[in-house]
Amino acid sequence: MLRTLVIISVVLIAACSSMTTQQRTSDLNDSLDRYAAALRWAYYSDALVYHINRDGKRPEVNLDRLDDFSVTGFEIKKKILNENQIEAFVSGELVYYSKEYGTVIKLKLEQNWWYNEEAKHWFIEGGFPDFK
């Protein structure tokens, strides 16, 4: 009886751990989609919410200046999660249009995402994309 109870407990713990890992991965994908949509639709203040360092600091961004740009695409090229599924390296390409110069610009992004267990939310460690 005790042996059966131990086996059931181990299986349940493994299943819960797997579900947590799957949920974090799913949450990262959802966060990437929402972040890309915020950039694409010029909801820059919504995209900026994702940029918070582990020490709580946020980058300073002049949101008014961003009215001169229009994001036309955001493509994830690579996504690598660490073993615990609490950190991810994401590289991609942001394509945007400069309204002032009438040019399309491609910006390579390399971002370090981290999971805040307390907030149950993924964040980006580092600066906001540098639109020029």
DSSP code for 57: -
Q: Taking a C-beta distance cutoff of 8 angstroms, is the pair 100, 69 a contact?
A: no
- Mean pLDDT within 26-34: 96
- For the whole model, what pTM was predicted? 0.83
More confident residue, 15 or 50: 50
pLDDT at residue 26 is higher than 60: yes
For residues 50-57, give the mean pLDDT: 95
* Burial (CB count within 10 angstroms: exposed 0-12, middle 13-18, buried 19+), residue 40: middle
**pLDDT, averaged across the chain:** 87
Residue 22 near residue 113 (C-beta atoms within 8 A): no
pLDDT in tens, 66-105: 999 999 999 999 999 998 899 999 999 999 999 999 999 9
Ordered by where they begin, the domains of the chain are: 2-125 (3.10.450.50)
